[in-house]
Amino acid sequence: MGTNTNCCGSSSAPDPADLLPISTDRRSFIKGVGALTGTAALSERTRAKGADGSTGERDPSNAVMFIFDGMGPTQVTGSRYLKAYRDDPDQFPLNADPAEAGLNLDRHTSHGTMTTFPADPNEVVVDSAAGATSPGAIDCAAGATGIGAGVKTYNGAIGGVREDDEFVPVETILEAARDAGLATGLVTTTRITHATPAAFASHVPHRSMEDEIARQYIEETEVDVLLGGGRDYFDPDERDDGADLFGAAQERGYEIVETAGDLSSVEAAPVLGLFTDDSHLDYHIDRQRIDGTQPGLVEMTEKALELLSECEAGFFLMVEAGRVDHCGHKNEPAILDEQLEGDEAVGSVLDFARDDSTLPTTVVTTADHECGGLSLARDGIYNVDYEMVDQLTASVTEGINPAIEEEVEDVEDLDRVMREVGGFELAELDRNHSAGDLYRSIDLGPFYSGMPVIRDLLNRKVLLGFTSHGHTGVDVPLYADGPNAEFFNTARDNTDIADVVADALGIV
């Protein structure tokens, strides 16, 4: 497969000759909560490391980091309103009070905010569009490295930092947990080799090196549960080097599954679940419309919790609702539905963590950055049409537009596609223009389905606003539950997360 373009932006993968050489050294920035409090005090469950660096006796415990890629405060608010409308349209919006239409996010005991600023003091916005040419900017890769390893790094870096013109790998919270004898897992709705999961379990100078990320997962990090998309990065027939990572995984005892049905029957880790060829899982709204074989985020999360909980020492699990970010980049009207799927999976995590039979479990839920600059209401109109948001039955970019490209030859076809695929009448989009006018506005040749006409009309109709196709610099929501949750009942930086979780697990 070689290198891949950055799906958090439009930049191309850098020339391999321009990448930093990889140092043979390795560093760790994970220090525990003493680094936050300015004291040496740690959690009661923490046991100090011995002189040889090994971790002493620790009480069994678990930790789950749940990352909504691209979530900001507005995504949370909008999803709450949509949930309230779906729960009781007749009472909406009076039932949007969190006490009545609460999200699973609200169930966390600690609520705070998290900064995501880049390492460059001259930049304040998390920027993925700049590519590897902007060392001070942080993208999904560097943001996830900050969360998972406790250190800020350059744009595109996975699990490492730049020092003396070299790429120096840094220890991640997942690796620290593994070395302490805990089971480990990564779950995502993106490719499993995408930036956020990769930053927890691999080390490469640039996020585009997905073949190498896949190799490290299997041959070096040996993550117990890997669930997401992108089987081509493990397939010898698709990889540039011809390496058979499926065979390598099987030699190490992995069960390989490719459908939701296969996943449901898995009884023990390790497992490698890859549910697409070279891309991400479908948006949640499209998975509901198509009778496909992909599992949802809830199913993957619950299976990971089931399998990892068999480890008596405990586990570390990272779950990513990765496609909220893609909705933001595409200004996709289905963004609130995508956010709600993540919220449902958060509910599964909290139910598991609070069960009396579960080991003490720390849950931290946050985002790497906001994406899209989402606003609720636009154009001076004080409203959002949640009825029509709920009426939508397909994403524009991956549901409606492909159907237009494949099926539309005339205005009647367009009207049918909008009704049968999108869930609404074409006339509802713009009552000031006829169906024929709308058809002519997108009939622009072989690339017309990629034009933003339908998307922009739909966003204008439902009154969702987007200020950007990239990331924005707002602080993101931060939630926590379980041991050490009190450290997150305030404003924190993304580099604080690993310290607190490591302390809760007793691995520092």
Q: How far apart are CA 209 and CA 13, in angstroms?
A: 8
Residue found under tokens 């099987």: 250
131: alpha, beta or left? (left if phi > 0; alpha if psi -120 to 50):
left
Residue found under tokens 């459908």: 259
Do residues 173 and 149 make contact, with C-beta atoms less than 8 angstroms apart? yes
What is the token pair recorded at 36?
Answer: 């936050």
Which of helix, strand or coil describes residue 201?
helix
The type of residue at 392 is L
Q: How far apart are CA 156 and CA 205, in angstroms?
A: 7
Do residues 184 and 311 make contact, with C-beta atoms less than 8 angstroms apart? no
Q: What's the start-to-end Cα distance of the chain, in Å?
A: 38
Rg (CA), the chain: 23
Q: How far apart are CA 8 and CA 469, in angstroms?
A: 10
Those residues with Cβ within 8 angstroms of residue 246's Cβ, 6 or more apart along the chain or in another chain: 234, 235, 236, 256, 272
Closest to 70 measured CA to CA, from 208, 193, 194: 194
Q: How far apart are CA 489 and CA 208, in angstroms?
A: 35
The type of residue at 359 is L
Residue found under tokens 């060392």: 135
Closest to 317 measured CA to CA, from 227, 233, 230: 227
The residue from 61, 128, 134, 208 that is catalytic is: 128
> 197: cis peptide before it, omega within 30°?
no
Do residues 506 and 43 make contact, with C-beta atoms less than 8 angstroms apart? yes
Distances in Å between the alpha carbon of 503 and those of 62, 90, 228, 251, 317?
11, 47, 28, 34, 15
Decide if 128 is catalytic: yes
What is the token pair recorded at 189?
Answer: 């709705």
Q: Measured over all CA atoms, what is the biggest interatomic distance in the chain, rounded to whole angstroms?
A: 77
Residue 494: CB atoms within 10 A of its CB come to 28
What is the token pair recorded at 190?
Answer: 């993106």
Residue found under tokens 């599992």: 295
Q: How many CA atoms lie within 13 A of 315 on its CB side?
A: 26
Do residues 468 and 329 make contact, with C-beta atoms less than 8 angstroms apart? no
Which residues are marked as active site? 128
